[in-house]
């Protein structure tokens, strides 16, 4: 069982990606891979599903513990490019988006 009191969000940029391998099908599919970020290497990283990943990509990950990427510690992630940063200091709708 996962202890939610220690879970953390961590933002990293993937500088190097090591071969990925998919296993399972449908809802039980997983991807195993390794990566490097800021000179630190992580191996035996597993994530549910078959996410798109490539060098240069920045992600925000939910981890069981800080820097807990390996051995099943990665719960999931989102590509940081998909996150919306709201305009600061404005009230009302953003005229650029309607």
Neighbouring residues of 1: CB distance < 8 A, sequence distance ≥ 6: none
Residue 86 is given by DSSP the state P
User: Rounded distance, CA 51 to CA 78, Å?
Assistant: 9
Residue 26: pLDDT band (50, 70, 90) is confident
- Cβ proximity of 13 and 37 under 8 Å: yes
- Cβ proximity of 73 and 63 under 8 Å: yes
Half-sphere exposure of 62 (CA within 13 A, CB side): 10
At 63-91, the pLDDT tens digits run 999 889 988 899 989 999 888 766 655 55
* Domain extent at residue 32: 13-82
Give the predicted TM-score (pTM) of the model: 0.72
Domain membership flag for residue 42: yes
pLDDT above 90 (res 13): yes
Structurally, the chain folds into a number of domains equal to 1
Domain membership flag for residue 2: no
């Amino acid at each position: 069982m996962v202890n939610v009191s220690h879970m953390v969000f961590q933002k990293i940029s993937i500088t190097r990606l090591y071969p990925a391998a998919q296993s399972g099908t449908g809802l039980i599919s997983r991807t195993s891979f390794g990566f490097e970020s800021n000179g630190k290497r992580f191996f035996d990283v597993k994530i549910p599903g078959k996410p798109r990943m490539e060098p240069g990509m920045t992600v925000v990950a939910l981890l069981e513990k800080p820097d807990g990427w390996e051995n099943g510690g990665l719960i999931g992630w989102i590509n940081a490019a998909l996150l919306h940063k709201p305009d600061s200091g404005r009230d009302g709708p953003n005229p650029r988006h309607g």
